[in-house]
């Protein structure tokens, strides 16, 4: 994430409980985000919606976080107004249910500008190259081809991403949540070899809107690990399941049913999805 622009500080203490939008109320990061005093320190200027850089403090602990108020969301033609924050929390819930921990701790809470999403700030670490543009038509060892991209003056280069287990897990998560905007800038390599995905506001649509830079495994068989995880998601999303109970407050019943069907389809085919052709396969701009 880039350095935020400084703006005058505003503070609020949340009235939300630690279990609001939380898959694991005992998680110290979730409790801190949900219960702590939220102080706005700056704004991330390049974001299309209002994204505020904050600190949150609670019982002697403090951390940096991102706060995206619902009031700062721009209307979208294909998503109901005022629902992006809930979708971000829903993506975190699904990530936690996989056991992969691919989305930073995220809650829905009150803030200085009203209700919004609050997510732990992740400091990205350099040195882990995940995307590249290469000459020729072959991705090369350790890379997966995505497609050709214009690089100026009428020339093209092959866009590739790393053949990385963390990215492959994220590709499965994106297929489940129907992520319509997996850009390169939404990939955050972090400490201890962790990889996080951020910006999940345009997810869980009933229509197939998967749009991503992680098409390198399209059509390939899912890993045994992914199949086990998807089987667990299927059970957790069933009527009365723990995950279904958390998602019902965040997305619509039709969207929940569509999520169940996406999991079922992945298990039925046993393969990573391929572009449908009904929707642009790669987000723009790609980063």
Asked whether the predicted pLDDT for residue 137 surpasses 70, the reply is yes
The predicted-structure confidence for 89-121, as pLDDT tens digits, reads as follows 999 999 999 999 999 999 999 999 999 999 999
Beta-carbon count within 10 A of 15 CB: 9
Q: Is the pTM of this model over 0.85?
A: yes
Q: What's the mean pLDDT when you consider all of the chain?
A: 90
Residue 253: what pLDDT? Answer: 97
Asked whether the predicted pLDDT for residue 20 surpasses 80, the reply is no
Residue 239: what pLDDT? Answer: 96
How confident is residue 11, by pLDDT bands cut at 50, 70 and 90?
low
How confident is residue 10, by pLDDT bands cut at 50, 70 and 90?
low
Averaged pLDDT for residues 221-243: 98
Fill in the DSSP letter of residue 222: P
Residue 278: what pLDDT? Answer: 82
Integer CA distances (angstroms), 221 to 28, 185, 268, in order: 37, 27, 11
State how far Cα 124 lies from the chain centre: 15
Q: Please compute, for residue 6, the number of CA atoms within 13 A of its CA located in the half-sphere on the CB side.
A: 0
Top-confidence residue, 278 or 160: 160
Q: Please compute, for residue 256, the number of CA atoms within 13 A of its CA located in the half-sphere on the CB side.
A: 21
Residue 183: what pLDDT? Answer: 93
Averaged pLDDT for residues 248-267: 98
Residue 284: what pLDDT? Answer: 75
DSSP 230-259: HHHHHHHHSTT-HHHHHHTTTS-HHHHHHH
Residue 22: what pLDDT? Answer: 41
Residues 92 and 104 sit within 8 Å (Cβ to Cβ): yes
Asked whether the predicted pLDDT for residue 16 surpasses 70, the reply is no
Asked whether the predicted pLDDT for residue 246 surpasses 80, the reply is yes
The predicted-structure confidence for 204-223, as pLDDT tens digits, reads as follows 999 999 999 999 999 999 99
Rounded to whole angstroms, the Cα distance separating 284 from 225 reads 31
């Amino acid at each position: 994430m880039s350095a935020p622009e400084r703006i005058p500080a505003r503070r609020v203490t949340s009235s939300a409980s630690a279990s609001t939008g939380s898959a694991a109320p005992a998680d110290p990061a979730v409790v801190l985000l949900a219960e702590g005093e939220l102080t706005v320190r700056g704004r991330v200027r390049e974001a299309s919606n209002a994204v505020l850089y904050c600190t949150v403090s609670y019982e002697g602990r403090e951390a940096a976080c991102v706060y995206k108020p619902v009031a700062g969301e721009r209307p979208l033609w294909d998503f109901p107004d005022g629902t992006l924050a809930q979708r971000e929390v829903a993506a975190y819930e699904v990530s936690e249910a996989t056991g992969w921990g691919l989305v930073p701790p995220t809650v829905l809470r009150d803030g200085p500008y009203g209700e919004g999403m609050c997510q732990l700030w992740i400091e990205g670490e350099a040195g882990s190259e995940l995307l590249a543009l290469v000459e020729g038509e072959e991705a090369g060892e350790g890379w997966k081809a995505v497609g050709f991209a214009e690089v100026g003056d009428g020339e093209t280069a092959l866009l590739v991403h790393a053949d990385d287990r963390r990215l492959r897990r994220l590709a499965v998560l994106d297929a489940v949540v129907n992520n319509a905007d997996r850009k390169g800038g939404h990939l955050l390599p972090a400490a201890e070899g962790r990889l996080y995905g951020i910006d999940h506001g345009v997810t869980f649509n009933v229509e197939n809107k998967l749009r991503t830079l992680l098409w390198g495994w399209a059509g390939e068989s899912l890993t045994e690990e992914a199949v086990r995880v998807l089987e667990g998601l299927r059970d957790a999303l069933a009527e009365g399941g723990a995950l279904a109970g958390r998602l019902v407050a965040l997305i619509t019943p039709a969207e929940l049913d569509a999520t169940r069907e996406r999991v079922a389809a992945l298990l039925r085919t046993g393969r990573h999805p391929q572009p449908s052709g009904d929707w642009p396969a790669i987000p723009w701009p790609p980063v």
